[in-house]
Amino acid sequence: MLQGLIAKKAIDIILKKVMEKREVKKLRKYVEEDNELDIQVKQMQKTIAKQGKYIEKLEKNVAILKKDSHPSQEYVCCMKCGCKINKTKSKKRR
């Protein structure tokens, strides 16, 4: 009987130590290795960086187009109905 109790306690202690080591390995694997969410976040960061570069390029193009475009036209409001129909007369070119 006494040997059975000692053997049972010894087996319990050994199993407890083995399970702790396995849990530590699982925890270390979770912390150190990339999981699905880490991969998704990295991919989203790459996509955001590409989109940011693309937006900057478009803003530069818009600035160039604004610089090269003609000045905006001014319209006179119709006093009766409030619509903007008639273009103002600009100075004649010589």
Above 70 in pLDDT, residue 58? yes
Q: Across the strands, what pairs with 86?
A: 76
Q: pLDDT tens across 36-46, in order?
A: 999 999 999 99
Query: Counting runs of H as helices and runs of E as strands, what totals does the chain give?
Result: 2, 2
Question: Do residues 73 and 86 lie in contact, with contact meaning Cβ atoms separated by under 8 Å?
Answer: no
Amino acid in position 41: V
pTM of the model: 0.45
Domain ranges of the chain: 2-62
Helix (H) or strand (E) holding 76: strand 75-77
Residue given tokens 């103002």 in the structure block: 88
- Per-residue pLDDT band at 94 (split at 50, 70, 90): very low
pLDDT of residue 5: 81
